[in-house]
Amino acid sequence: MNRILVLLLLLSASILVQGQSKRKSGGFAVNPNQQQNKFLEKQWWLGFKAGINLSNALPIKRYAVLTPTNYSQTATDKAYDSFSKIGSQATLEATFYFKGFSISVQPAYRHSRFTYSNQYQWYNTENTSERLILQYDQEIKLDFADFPLVVKYDILKGKVRPYLQAGIFYSMLINANKSLQISGTDYASGGTNQFRNEPIIVGAKDLLNNYWGLMAGLGVNYNLGNVRIVFDAAYWKGMSNITDVNNRYGNDFLSGVGDAQDDLDLNNLIFSAGVLFPMRFLSNTFNTLDR
C-alpha cells in the first residue's frame, strides 16, 4: 500500500513538472504571436485616394427637336464617344477588415466628362447640289458626390495583397455644364463655304439627375512599414437614368438650336491610388501589415 502511495506521489510530481515545463515552453500558455495574430484579424483603415476616370454614356431612349422629312431619323442620332475624355476624383476611404474580408465606405468628389455629336442636312429637292450640312459637337462636364459601399476580399496575404471588390453606389449631382460647337459646310451660297462657330457653354444641371449603380473591380495593397499603399481599378455601371425627364427641353438655348437630352446610362472606369493608415494598432516592434 505504501509503495502504491509513493508511486502515485511520484507520478503526480512528474505530471506537475511536465506541465510547468510546457507552460514555460508555450505548450499550455497563450503564445504572444497568437495574441498578435488574433488582434490583427480585424483592423480599421483610414486614408485618402485620388485618380482618373473615363466615362461612357449609353442612350436608353433617343430624343430630338428636329425631325427630318426627306431622310431617315437615325441619320441625325447622336453618336456617343466611349471612354474618350479623362476626368478625375478624390476619395476618402474608411475600411473595416476581418479575416480577409473588408467592408468599406468611400465618399468621393468626381468630375466626369463625355462627348457626343450629330449632323443635320438641308438640301434643295430640285437641285441637290444646293445643300447645308451642320455638325453638332457637344461635351458634358459633370460633378458628382459619390457614396459607394464596397466589399473587398484579399486573394493573398503578405506584403503585397491583391484583392477583389464589388459594391453599390449612389451619386448626387453637384453641377453640370454643356459645351456646344456648331460647324458646317454651306453649298448653297454660290460656292463651298466652311464655317465653325465659337463654342457656347451653358449650365446643364437642370437637365440631369442623381443616379445609382453597381461596381466591381480589383486592386492591390502594398504594405510599407505601418502604412498601406493602395492601387485599384473598378467599373461603375449606372443603373438609372441620369436625365431629368421632366426638364428635357428646359434649356431654351439648347432647344432653340435643335438639341434635346437623350435618356442615358452613365458608366465609368475608375482608377485610383492612395495611402491608408491602420487605426487599431501601430508598433515599431513588428510589422502589423504582413498578417
74-83, 103-112, 202-211, 280-289: least confident range: 280-289
Average pLDDT over residues 255-277: 92
81: pLDDT strictly greater than 60: yes
What pLDDT digit, counting tens, does each position of 34-57 carry? 555 555 578 899 999 999 999 999
SS3 280: coil
Helical (H) or strand (E) element with 19: helix 2-25
Give the chain's count of helices (H) and strands (E): 3, 12
Query: Which backbone phi and psi does 251 adopt, to 5 degrees?
Result: -95, 110
Using alpha carbons only, give the angle 91, 155, 214 rounded to the nearest 5 degrees: 45
Which residue type does 258 have? G
Using CA atoms of 63, 54, 198, 70 in order, give the dihedral in degrees to the nearest 10. -30
More confident residue, 95 or 36: 95
- Domain 33-290 sits in CATH 3.60.150.10: no
268 or 72, which is more confident: 268
- Rounded to whole angstroms, what are the CA distances from 250 to 28, 244, 253? 76, 10, 9
Query: Which residues, other chains included, contact 291 with Cβ-Cβ below 8 Å and sequence gap of 6+?
Result: 36, 37, 40, 41, 157
Share of the chain above pLDDT 90, in %: 53
Note the pLDDT tens digit of each residue in 160-218: 999 999 999 999 999 999 999 989 888 877 678 888 888 889 999 999 999 999 999 99
Half-sphere exposure (Cβ direction) of 144: Cα atoms closer than 13 Å: 29
Q: DSSP E strands: which ranges in 9-154?
A: 42-61, 79-80, 86-98, 101-105, 108-124, 127-154
How confident is the model over 217-265, as pLDDT tens digits?
999 999 988 899 999 999 999 999 999 999 888 888 888 777 888 999 9
- Sequence-distant (6+) residues with CB within 8 A of 273 are 49, 50, 51, 229, 230, 231, 232
* Distance from C-alpha of 59 to C-alpha of 69, rounded to nearest angstrom: 23
Instruction: List beta partners, residue 228.
Output: 223, 276
In this structure, what C-alpha cell is assigned to residue 229?
Answer: 499603399
State the DSSP code for 15: H
Mean pLDDT within 70-88: 85
Bigger pLDDT: 275 or 12?
275
Rounded distance between C-alpha atoms, residue 146 and residue 167, angstroms: 13
- The answer to whether 165 and 152 are in contact (CB under 8 A) is yes
The confidence score (pLDDT) of residue 198 equals 86
